[in-house]
Structure 1
């Protein structure tokens, strides 16, 4: 997250730091075999019963970065921010703690509209914690997390005579103690700082409740699987494992400014939608607590189309939704839609399905809606961007055979990039062959014995 709206660099702004981070991600490739056991667990081709993740829990992993404190761009209209969040069906945001640049009432308004904040803090955290306490008191439950300093490698801090990473880690330690010693913030977790070298510290005990990373897939690549060996999300997953902490990813995204060449490339709007939805699913399948997409709105107009930073939004600067916003809305609408269940009707939470012919680049995640129906999510992370020409790629889908373990009363197929309505509907079948594209599709499964009306 940028400290100034006038910043013109991307999220990995410091070139040396960016190269260093990219090399760190490459180091993680040697851990791919072990880590993929976590990240790709849902893709195991077996007929053993798979425990479904409640759809309501999955929806709580979806989050987005906002810049409510910016007063000279799209975020100045706080009503649009609230309306956009409600339209998307997302509640969690990451932002700076309230300051003097915008009325405190704006944060209260957003909180009253259901927005839950992860507040980013720096060396002056004492004053910022006071503002967080004030908001959480006025709208209980509106502060979901407190986060330490942002990207210390790009934005160093000074603290108690210390500089560099040492200062940032000291801030994080004292911030952790301060939050957990504040009754008004009881139960609010502390996310770790970002941008320090993990190998320089042995433990995050008494410093963080969650490991924290930023993940920006580069070269227009997929978030987790790429045939050339780049697996951008694996380093984040490994960090949580290293410190034996649950993980959050507080920045992730693609900017929608098509480019050719090499490194930190923008993509077109449809490719942005594919990457973001796949990233949300990759994170949830890997057990990531929450993934914050950077960011809600394109901050300022960029008529010359030469400022990468102004194109990360889910919504354009005029507040019109990009394809990624429509896709997220379709996804949350599908998962929230439910039928009426009979009172006290028991519903099983596992499904013994089998996937055959799933390629290594494909993944799956089983969800369950509150009405008992299952949603099997499938996506195939084949190449989506031609970095030589700066144009999208669309490879052939993978033909996957599914055995639902028993006869399904109904199976509806959805493509969130296209619609919130089913593209296909099937009845009374046990097996189905589907084409899994380079982005998320959903199979809503009503088992034959599912209670219903």
Structure 2
């Protein structure tokens, strides 16, 4: 998890939407009516594959069988793992990850972890996962600002030079891409490159010409930028509208420690990275984000924040998102209320809501060439967002979620053609339809603070 910052840009709520429109004011609330037109759907399975989680394991007192049970309950598709805590004689062995892949279907992102520089071990264990079909990607060091790294006899990260961190990660990238077993797997960057002291260049996936970095131009570190964009940040510690939408914003408009502060202009020392206009298309993942139950955030708010988070992240360009944490940690002090599950392994509302959503959307196949759908949502307040998916059976799944703290927005969803059948699901109520329509081209909805799903058959 990241440290407190006071160097980030101030809060600016964005109302950017997928469809352009004129900003109106209706009843005092800014709205953006989506322009009518065809929208290309995303495969439902691609969204489901993006849903990941951080977890503890046997080395920290969490039994394997309970981990398996919780992963299955929530419908998580991938798991953040790595060589930290891994021992040949256990209690945490590589076999645990192989079994979780075999028995729960999850894939594993495989990282160096906190303060570890053992590249050979990362690669050798990564090959075992790859040969079993369990590997998702490689990840660089976890938050070197908090856990410095020793590489080739020199310590880097923290308040010291970050050059050893950069050299380690450049070597990691070259080693993966030159390995006949591993070459096709993506490499994710270190997390928190925005904390760099000197300008080692880790704010780039590949250092461009004339960047003025310590590492030479052309140095390649990663295929994906990796951020830890927690929703509640020292700049914005309280509940607010559009909490997850703002955290997923790739621009300087975000209020949190996100893509801009790590890859646009570093938050610690203002080293220049990518131009802001280029960030929208930068491949990116999140390996930690989350919401703790504390202060004004109760269990219900945590639940809707987290289920909205996965949708906002995917909608705003994050290929994979891992939430901290599967179950509250019981082996360390501090606020341990981030979990989908309580210490006694019982599910919180967040786990129930996510279970509902993954069951509503459940798809074991994949629509390789999704279709387009012509629809309009009007009016579209700044707190109402949408994501069009298509199931492998051809049905569209239009997810509409709200991020308003108070109140409900009445919106009308209009389709150019009549749908033969429409089913409405509410992710906080369950995984079965709450209303159905036949031969209709218009649906009225009340959208508040959580996802609704329209399953559409034409």
TM-score norm. by structure 1 comes to 0.79
Name the structure with the higher helix share: 1
SS in 2 for 1:378: strand
* CA 1:105–1:232: 2 relative to 1, 3 Å: same
Deviation at 1:150, TM superposition (A): 0.7
Check conservation: 1:180, 1:186, Cα contact below 8 A.
yes
**Is 1:335 the equivalent of 2:361?**
yes
* CA 1:338–1:446: 2 relative to 1, 3 Å: farther
Partner of 1:55: 44
Partner of 2:284: 247
Check conservation: 1:99, 1:128, Cα contact below 8 A.
no
Partner of 1:343: none
Provide the C-alpha distance between the structure 2 equivalents of 1:181 and 1:348, rounded to a whole number of angstroms: 34
Deviation at 1:115, TM superposition (A): 2.2
Partner of 1:378: 400
Aligned residues: 392
**Is 1:203 the equivalent of 2:204?**
yes
* CA 1:40–1:212: 2 relative to 1, 3 Å: farther
SS in 2 for 1:427: strand
| Larger CA deviation: 158-167 vs 238-247 | 238-247
Partner of 2:258: 235
Deviation at 1:127, TM superposition (A): 1.6
Deviation at 1:40, TM superposition (A): 9.0
Task: Map 1:141-152; keep pairs closer than 5 Å.
Answer: 141-152=133-144
Provide the C-alpha distance between the structure 2 equivalents of 1:437 and 1:237, rounded to a whole number of angstroms: 29
Partner of 1:450: none
Partner of 1:401: 412
Provide the C-alpha distance between the structure 1 equivalents of 2:128 and 2:443, rounded to a whole number of angstroms: 54
Runs of 4+ in 1 over 4 A off after TM superposition: 27-30, 37-41
* CA 1:360–1:336: 2 relative to 1, 3 Å: same
Provide the C-alpha distance between the structure 1 equivalents of 2:128 and 2:20, rounded to a whole number of angstroms: 41
* CA 1:352–1:250: 2 relative to 1, 3 Å: same
Partner of 2:304: 274
Provide the C-alpha distance between the structure 2 equivalents of 1:428 and 1:347, rounded to a whole number of angstroms: 26
* CA 1:347–1:446: 2 relative to 1, 3 Å: farther
**Is 1:307 the equivalent of 2:326?**
no
Provide the C-alpha distance between the structure 1 equivalents of 2:18 and 2:156, rounded to a whole number of angstroms: 36
Provide the C-alpha distance between the structure 1 equivalents of 2:452 and 2:36, rounded to a whole number of angstroms: 21
Check conservation: 1:236, 1:249, Cα contact below 8 A.
no
Alignment partner for residue 239 of structure 2, among 220, 223, 232?
220
Deviation at 1:247, TM superposition (A): 0.4
Alignment partner for residue 66 of structure 1, among 28, 48, 55?
55
**Is 1:259 the equivalent of 2:295?**
yes
Deviation at 1:248, TM superposition (A): 0.3
Partner of 1:106: 96
After superposition, the C-alpha distances for 1:420-443 in whole angstroms (9 at most, x for unaligned) are 011121222111211011111111
TM-score norm. by structure 2 comes to 0.78
Partner of 1:389: none
Partner of 2:35: 46
Provide the C-alpha distance between the structure 1 equivalents of 2:191 and 2:282, rounded to a whole number of angstroms: 15
Task: Map 1:413-428; keep pairs closer than 5 Å.
Answer: 413-428=424-439
Structure 2 unaligned regions, length at least 5: 22-31, 207-219, 233-237, 264-273
Partner of 2:384: 362
**Is 1:187 the equivalent of 2:208?**
no
Deviation at 1:361, TM superposition (A): 2.1
Provide the C-alpha distance between the structure 2 equivalents of 1:301 and 1:428, rounded to a whole number of angstroms: 56
Partner of 1:294: 324
Deviation at 1:416, TM superposition (A): 1.0
Task: Map 1:53-202; keep pairs closer than 5 Å.
Answer: 53-68=42-57, 71-73=59-61, 75=62, 77-97=63-83, 99-100=86-87, 101=90, 102-113=92-103, 114-121=105-112, 122-137=116-131, 139=132, 141-160=133-152, 161-164=154-157, 165-197=162-194, 200=199, 201=201
Deviation at 1:39, TM superposition (A): 10
Deviation at 1:158, TM superposition (A): 2.5
Check conservation: 1:247, 1:288, Cα contact below 8 A.
yes
Provide the C-alpha distance between the structure 2 equivalents of 1:143 and 1:235, rounded to a whole number of angstroms: 26
Provide the C-alpha distance between the structure 2 equivalents of 1:255 and 1:379, rounded to a whole number of angstroms: 21
After superposition, the C-alpha distances for 1:22-57 in whole angstroms (9 at most, x for unaligned) are x33x26959x58xx466999x861221111111011
After superposition, the C-alpha distances for 1:40-76 in whole angstroms (9 at most, x for unaligned) are 99x86122111111101111111111222x5243x2x
Check conservation: 2:226, 2:286, Cα contact below 8 A.
yes
Check conservation: 1:66, 1:296, Cα contact below 8 A.
yes
